[in-house]
Amino acid sequence: MNEDTVIEATGLTKNYGTAVAVDHISFTVGRGEIFGLLGPNGAGKTTTILMMLGLTDISGGEVRVLGFNPAREPLSVKRRVGYLPDTVGFYDNLTAADNLRYTARLIGFRLAEREKRIADAIERVGLAEFADKRVATFSRGMRQRLGLAEILMKGAQIAILDEPTSGLDPHATAELLGIIRNFKAEGVSVLLSSHLLERVQSVCDRVALFSGGKIALMGTVPELGRQVLGGGYVVDIEADGVGLAERLALIPGVSGVEKTGIGKLRLHADRDVRPEAANEVVAMQGRLKFLGVQEPSLEAIYTRYFEAKPGEMKEGTLHAA
Amino acid sequence: MQREGSAFQGLGVVMLKELSDHLTSVRMRVLEWLIVLVALAALYGAIQQIKDTTAEDPFLFLRLFTTSRDPLPSFVSFLSFLVPLMAIGLGFDSVNGEHSRRTLSRILAQPIYRDALLFGKFLAGLVTLSISLVTLWLLVIGLGLLLIGIPPGAEEIARSFVFLLVTIVYAGVWLALALLFSILFRSAATAALVTLGIWLLITFIWPVLAGAIAQIIVPPDPRYAALGLQTPGTAMLEQILARFSPSTLFAEVVVALLDPTTRALGPIYLSQLQGAVLGAPLPLASSVLIAWPQIVGMIATVMVLFVIGYVVFQRQEVRA
């Protein structure tokens, strides 16, 4: 196992009777990486996570978390990995700090260290003023943040977050994603699952798209975009000037120009041609109103991929990593 | 395959947390007041009755537990109803409650095994019940001292203490049953209803059913019936069947412990009466010996119920 690899799954499989929930998946997560497990509900994301934590039996294959086998050494794994379950729950009758105290005692921290870690963690997720309030009064976003505080308090090397942003309003989502980025800044690896593709696109270094228990696609978002969306960049430009379309078409690398509106053009190119396009407009003394390159969106990748291959999913054919 | 580390890591933490939850919960306070008030009523009735009867009794103190005065049943019969109720009340939502609060997967993601969680919950319930029962026992003895004015003998204290221990075991049976159903059913309401249903069935319906079933399998002999006696075969079978109910076992142990003159539980043969001085009290050790199979039976029931729950819980999926 590579020193910079914290999670390594090989042929991981989970069967429920004859139904296959997770079907021979393989992936690795590196140190300090944010890795996204994306896919619709029921695609096998949560099952994969539970197998990594030793909370459900593994039917086949192997997974190593920080070099430990979760099936045989669950305590070593669970001591080093923080887990935020899908819609995390706390004991409503206890305060936020008391909930963390219970967890800290289960982990086995000594009293002085416990209090320091709890105060730190609660402070860092911005719940300091609510530390002594009962969790019953907490909103969903606050509960999710308290869940992240628990992982911080634990000093986990890997944070596994199951649907951390589901059911949150945009503001709470942004806050949560900010905390998740801080994990990365501290060298904590993050593995997060979500069915909301566009929300996690912004934080993930690499993603694995799940479908029917298999990993359909894996890699960075731009890589996947190039593979699935037929490669190439799409540059939108809004400017005036006679004969602009013809001149833009002459830029090396541009394969096509289409008119999308009055004074609006869309360039298809095999590289980012924004500087050249801007030059052309300025050279014609035209007025440049808008110039932008379309980032490939996960949503588009996902839709396109499964439209293109209905029913047929060849594992590994499109692995970019 | 040997598991890493101890299965009981975190047991103490879970137990203390559950115990503090129990002791501070409103549910527990309601149950405690119910038991204390009912026990006081029964005790008051018993003391009135004892004061009225002037007959000399070497075990006057034990009468506190068993004497009843219309319309109130005795302290012991109250206890045999209320202890299961209290145990079920403490246990029916212990595991499915973690599911519905969605805390289970978060807690199990900490470095502990499921064993610690389940065993911690059971122990916390048992300790809570023990605290309540010991308090109640002290209350009864204290009130007895105050109101009757005769200090209990060592033998009486010992007998009532063994009775206290047996009551805790009896509570454990119902706690283990409630815990089992809290594992089997995801809905706390279903678990509570099923557990209460089984309690009603076992305590109130089963003794009647046992008689009916015994009569079907071994029809009563008309010759015995003509003499107004029970047919021995039928009576034996009825007793065997009735003893499947922990309530029957508890009732039998109580009789043996609190009434020192009890010589046998069930039919007595003439051979057993040879040389016996009828009505003479037995020493405590002998009384315990008579009730020993019943006590062991109850302890075994606790273990079997807990183990079934344990196995199911280990194999259960944690996801909601």
Task: Indicate the residue of B9, B105, B111 with minimum beta-carbon distance to A55.
Answer: B105
Q: Is the pLDDT of residue A231 over 70?
A: no
Among A73, A89, A105, the residue with its CB nearest the CB of B4 is A73
CATH topology of domain A5-94+134-225: Rossmann fold (3.40.50)
| 3 state SS of A318 | coil
Nearest CA in chain B to A94: B21
**Residue from the list B1, B13, B105 with its beta carbon closest to the beta carbon of A72:** B1
Q: Does B11 touch chain A (CB under 8 A)?
A: no
Residue of B198, B174, B167 whose CA lies nearest to B39: B167
Instruction: Please answer yes or no on whether B102 and A92 come within 8 Å at the CB atom.
Output: no
ipTM of the complex: 0.86
Q: Locate tokens 């004991």: which residue?
A: A91
Q: How far is A292 from chain B (nearest CA, A)?
A: 44
The stretch A14-35 carries a mean pLDDT of 92
Tens digits of residue pLDDT in B120-163: 999 999 999 999 999 999 988 888 888 888 788 888 899 999 99
User: Is the peptide bond prior to B71 cis by the omega test (within 30 degrees of 0)?
Assistant: yes
A78–B109: do the CB atoms touch at under 8 Å?
yes
Q: Return the pLDDT at A313.
A: 42
> Which of A266, A209, A206 shows the shortest CA–CA distance to A233?
A266
Which of the listed ranges B187-196, B218-227, B277-286 does the model predict with the highest average pLDDT?
B187-196
Residue A156 CB-half CA count within 13 A: 34
The predicted structure's pLDDT at residue B1: 60
What's the 3-state SS for chain B?
CCCCCCCCCCHHHHHHHHHHHHHHCHHHHHHHHHHHHHHHHHHHHHHHHHHHCCCCCCCHHHHHHHCCECCECCHHHHHHHHHHHHHHHHHCCCCHHHHHCCCHHHHHCCCCCHHHHHHHHHHHHHHHHHHHHHHHHHHHHHHHHHHHCCCCCHHHHHHHHHHHHHHHHHHHHHHHHHHHHHHHCCCHHHHHHHHHHHHHHHHHHHHHHHHHHHHHHCCCCHHHHHCCCCCHHHHHHHHHHHCCCHHHHHHHHHHHHHCCCCCCCCCCCHHHHCCCCCCCCCCHHHHHHHHHHHHHHHHHHHHHHHHHHHHHHHHCCCCC
pLDDT tens track for A232-262: 778 888 888 777 888 888 888 888 888 888 8
Q: Residue A41 in contact with residue A98, Cβ under 8 Å?
A: no
Instruction: Give the pLDDT band of residue B174 (cuts 50, 70, 90).
Output: very high
Residues in chain A whose Cβ is within 8 Å of chain B: 46-47, 50, 53, 55-56, 72-76, 78-79, 81-93, 102-103, 105-108, 147, 150
Q: Residue A316 — very low, low, confident or very high, per pLDDT cuts 50/70/90?
A: very low
Residue A115 has pLDDT above 70, yes or no: yes
Residue in B101, B106, B318 closest to A50 by CB: B318
Q: What is the CA radius of gyration of chain A?
A: 24
Confidence at residue A223, expressed as pLDDT on a 0 to 100 scale: 82
B112 in A contact zone (CB under 8 Å): yes
Place of tokens 């009576």: B235
pLDDT at A292: 83
Amino acid identity of B113? Y
Q: CB–CB of B108 and A81 under 8 A?
A: no
Residues 6 or more apart whose Cβ sits within 8 Å of residue B230: B220, B224
- Min distance B111 CA to chain A CA atoms (Å): 5
Distances (CA, A) of A172 to A35, A179, A197, B126: 21, 11, 17, 43
Nearest CB neighbour to B13, from listed A74, A76, A106: A106
List the domain boundaries for chain A: 5-94+134-225, 232-293
For residue B124, list chain A residues with Cβ-Cβ distance below 8 A: none
Q: Which residues of A touch B13 (CB under 8 A)?
A: 102, 105-106
CA distance A20 to chain B (A): 15
**B319–A91 CB contact, under 8 Å:** no
Chain B nearest-CA residue for A93: B21
Chain B residue with CA closest to A84: the answer is B106
* pTM of the model as a whole: 0.87
Q: What is the mean pLDDT of residues A133-138?
A: 94
Task: Tell me which residue in A46, A90, A92 faces B319 most closely, judged by beta carbons.
Answer: A46
What pLDDT does residue A319 have? Answer: 39
- Closest CB from A47, A79, A93 relative to B111: A79
Letter for the amino acid at A318?
A: L
Note the pLDDT tens digit of each residue in A26-81.
999 999 999 999 888 888 899 999 999 999 999 999 999 999 999 999 999 999 99
pLDDT at position A317 is 38
B314 touches chain A (CB under 8 A): no
pLDDT at B87 over 60: yes
Q: What is the mean pLDDT of residues A148-155?
A: 95
8 Å CB contact between A235 and A292: yes
Rounded to a whole number, what is the distance in Å from the CA of B135 to chain A's nearest CA?
A: 26
For residue A81, the chain B residues in CB contact (below 8 A) are: 109
Residue A12 predicted with pLDDT over 60: yes
Size of interface A-B (CB pairs under 8 A): 85
Cα–Cα dist B87/B178, whole Å: 7
Lookup result for tokens 């412990």: B257
Q: What residue of A is the nearest CA neighbor of B7?
A: A75
Residue A92, both tokens: 């409503």
| Cα A116 to Cα A152: distance, rounded to the nearest angstrom | 12
Q: What angle do CA A231, A236, A241 make, to 5 degrees?
A: 135
Task: Return the pLDDT at B74.
Answer: 87
Alpha-carbon gap: B117 to the closest alpha carbon of chain A (Å): 10
Q: List residues bridging with A319 in a β-sheet.
A: A218
CATH no. of A232-293: 3.30.70.100
Print burial letters for B168-205: b (CB count within 10 Å at least 16), e (below 16): bbbbbbbbbbbbbbbbbbeebeebbebbbebbeebbee
